[in-house]
Structure 1
């Protein structure tokens, strides 16, 4: 297909209309225990049938319970209020059995109803202008960012909450680092001068937030070498220090960042895009109008990596640059998480019916070095049920201590969905209380508690029960 001009490159990726296809169609009630092999019989997976919640919020299996530990609007320990639209989270070990959780807030600059500074910015003077990445000239400060809470697992009580990053936009997901920090991502490509010249900075970056029990505000400095695009989430390989990044676009690509100094991401590095070895510009989305043959399920494909230039991308066109160079295209890359020796990531609108895919990438033993050509990394389409009674619009994900992948659905009637290492799916929880997505699910380091948000009402829950060892 000819696509020499910039506009024709955009047309080559048939993405129009697919970004929201997962919200089409009627919802049908689901039962737990489905597998990829068959939707007509129950598999002995998961934790059994979901029991009706007498409080009408979250149905869970027998023996499990939840506790609402915070709500948007709660007074925090720094004098601010808890912002709304809680999203991705990372959990870290604190002292004396405490857990530190850094939590994103997917708030746009003009979404005042979700602000942590009061309905009329009356709490704004509790911060210094330098605490903000984008102060919005004091007229429209960016309202995204992160909060951090400290939770006592033994007592089941919240210890404290505070604002840990200010002045960013639509912090959707992110990822934990092996050195004990949270990488938070802006799902936005707003530019300086947007909002009637009120914004003071470009957006679309990754920021690093320390995991601290005591109130500590992060230096609001973007890691620009990791690229400016519609970020979703990141995962760090603890062995190589390589960072993997997803892009929330219907025509997105999958990136990796090789830092010059592992663990020092702000010291520069190389941004690259994944391509399937021997298959230029492979379309992995499996849509009815996708280019080329279907991307097979459970078949490992060797990959290569392509250098990306001009990573600050003033025109938000890194994906088009990548595709022109042969990068594979993905359907809205969302949550990503490092497992044992592999990384899993979700594509919300992938698959024949646009209901979602989950991929697994196994790095080369020489990942990020010239020698990786000897044994390239491998990409596998790990799950694509093409049945909304099994999976619909997978978003944030985390790997459970026992190895299953736990997915949050981005839907008006979402479930938590588990996937075993064999690719079998089951349902772990059902949101029956709010017409809002589940987001940010993450296990505590002990594995005793699973924290998750119900985004619309800004509720954070702690789920406990007889988890597998």
Structure 2
């Protein structure tokens, strides 16, 4: 890894004792984890993996039992739905993707958080909205909020709307050189669905600039594609932006955007879809072998901003028509060690029992992929992990690499024929967890369990100093209850693998 790569990696909040090996260890973790499942060997005793058994734990600042955590760990609740913010706006619903940056004050952290609001156009219920601000769509209900927090005390120094006028802001990724957050719309809705403008785009949220009462102007980056976006990751060496697609029930593509000017994404560029070299329509969703290296080429999306209202071919249809590879529900995306890692939430051979999609594909429990960019060539795609069943990992969404080389995966098991109860969460049929992967042997372990409701975990990210894991509980995307919450989790990280 070059000096630039290492600086970039450590600059993402992973600079701790031993952090210089973090990304490489994390890759080894995925490989070891895959080996247990592939060989059928008996994994290590779960009691000796991770941080030990979990217990129902009350929040330090509210007293509510919302999470189950290992002994010695604690958490505070930040930015609960309905809480008045510094700009006078009530904290919106549907807390989703998020990133952590150094704060403007000593010991503080700045969080930029998505809100996947799915209410009708213009609905006031849980809306991300600042009257009179520069909004792309006057009826937009989604957007982002920014929180300046002190993770030691749990104090929210200030919080405010940082972008509005968008819809269904699901995940995203950090901008080049940590200049801010790229927030993504997980939809292709438009005027036909009651909105004033077309949607399905990526938007920029600058780290500096938005202040209480003055959100950033929401301007779509149309050249980056109009499709059901999930997350992005930026390669710091090239400025290329890698994008995942999550259009449930249909084959999805993995994209890259080659900007004309990496510092100015609005200047345009070329959108492409991944294709397995020499094979049209390669199906990555099932029948794959972990560790196999698949050579990659890229096909151009000729019309990245299609007139879907006029019947134009979608970005996905364009890419698949040129032989693009098929995935299922691509979600979390992360750059490290010169590679891009991304989750296929419902890929894999072990099936969850849900009804098949429109093309007959039956959902699996999830896959983790690694794309290694090529030097002058298309690169290589590797399946580094595939879940054998719900107990080990059920529907991975966001992912993050940790300060000391572990991995945290956010589960998004919203519903399934295969119920997923948990002894620490009686009464819940589909329980979501934060799953850690131990770099010492690749064994998965439960790091946290949402015992409050059945909504997904999202937005996991570490503070720049590595002391605090932030994570969101989505809550409802269309109602005030259950509420969205942001957690700041602290504990004896050095006693375990993360």
| Fold conserved between structures, TM > 0.5 | yes
Deviation (angstroms), 1:172: 0.3
1:56 paired residue among 60, 65, 69:
65
Deviation (angstroms), 1:402: 2.0
Q: Say which is worse superposed, 154-163 or 51-60, in terms of deviation.
A: 51-60
C-alpha change, 1:86 and 1:187, in structure 2 (3 Å) is same
Q: How does 1:62-461 map to 2 (within 5 A)?
A: 62-95=71-104, 96-110=106-120, 112=123, 114-116=125-127, 127-128=131-132, 131-135=134-138, 141-177=139-175, 178-195=177-194, 199-212=195-208, 214-215=211-212, 216-249=214-247, 250-286=250-286, 294-315=287-308, 317-352=314-349, 353=351, 354-364=364-374, 366=375, 372-373=376-377, 376-411=378-413, 412-420=430-438, 423-456=442-475, 457-461=483-487
C-alpha change, 1:362 and 1:404, in structure 2 (3 Å) is farther
The CA distance in 2 between the partners of 1:467 and 1:61, in whole Å, is 11
Deviation (angstroms), 1:38: 4.3
Deviations 1:306-351 (A, max 9, x none): 1111000223621121112111110110011112322111111111
Residue in structure 2 matched with residue 13 of structure 1 by the alignment: none
Deviation (angstroms), 1:238: 1.1
Residue in structure 1 matched with residue 488 of structure 2 by the alignment: 462
Contact 1:193/1:200 (8 A) holds in 2: no
The CA distance in 1 between the partners of 2:442 and 2:225, in whole Å, is 32
Deviation (angstroms), 1:449: 1.0
Contact 2:119/2:125 (8 A) holds in 1: no
Deviations 1:249-286 (A, max 9, x none): 24001000111111211111111111112322110100
Deviations 1:150-170 (A, max 9, x none): 011343311111001111110
Contact 1:107/1:114 (8 A) holds in 2: no
Secondary structure of the residue aligned to 1:297 is: coil
Deviation (angstroms), 1:420: 4.6
Contact 2:387/2:394 (8 A) holds in 1: no
The CA distance in 2 between the partners of 1:150 and 1:98, in whole Å, is 6
The CA distance in 2 between the partners of 1:449 and 1:341, in whole Å, is 25
Secondary structure of the residue aligned to 1:321 is: helix
The CA distance in 2 between the partners of 1:416 and 1:110, in whole Å, is 31
Name the Cα RMSD after superposition: 2.1
Deviations 1:400-420 (A, max 9, x none): 122322111112310101235
The CA distance in 2 between the partners of 1:285 and 1:413, in whole Å, is 24
Residue in structure 1 matched with residue 17 of structure 2 by the alignment: none
The aligned length equals 406
Residue segments in structure 2 that go unaligned for 5+ positions in a row: 1-32, 59-63, 352-363, 414-429, 476-482
C-alpha change, 1:391 and 1:350, in structure 2 (3 Å) is same
Contact 1:91/1:443 (8 A) holds in 2: yes
The CA distance in 2 between the partners of 1:420 and 1:114, in whole Å, is 41
* TM-score in terms of structure 2 length: 0.77
Contact 2:372/2:381 (8 A) holds in 1: yes
C-alpha change, 1:214 and 1:340, in structure 2 (3 Å) is farther
Deviation (angstroms), 1:386: 2.1
The CA distance in 2 between the partners of 1:109 and 1:207, in whole Å, is 20
Q: Say which is worse superposed, 204-213 or 157-166, in terms of deviation.
A: 204-213
Contact 1:335/1:346 (8 A) holds in 2: yes
Deviation (angstroms), 1:424: 3.7
Residue in structure 2 matched with residue 121 of structure 1 by the alignment: none
Contact 2:275/2:281 (8 A) holds in 1: yes
Secondary structure of the residue aligned to 1:53 is: strand
Deviations 1:367-408 (A, max 9, x none): xxxxx12xx422111111221000111111112122322111
C-alpha change, 1:424 and 1:274, in structure 2 (3 Å) is farther
> Greater relative contact order: 1 or 2 (C-alpha under 8 angstroms, separation 6 or more)?
2
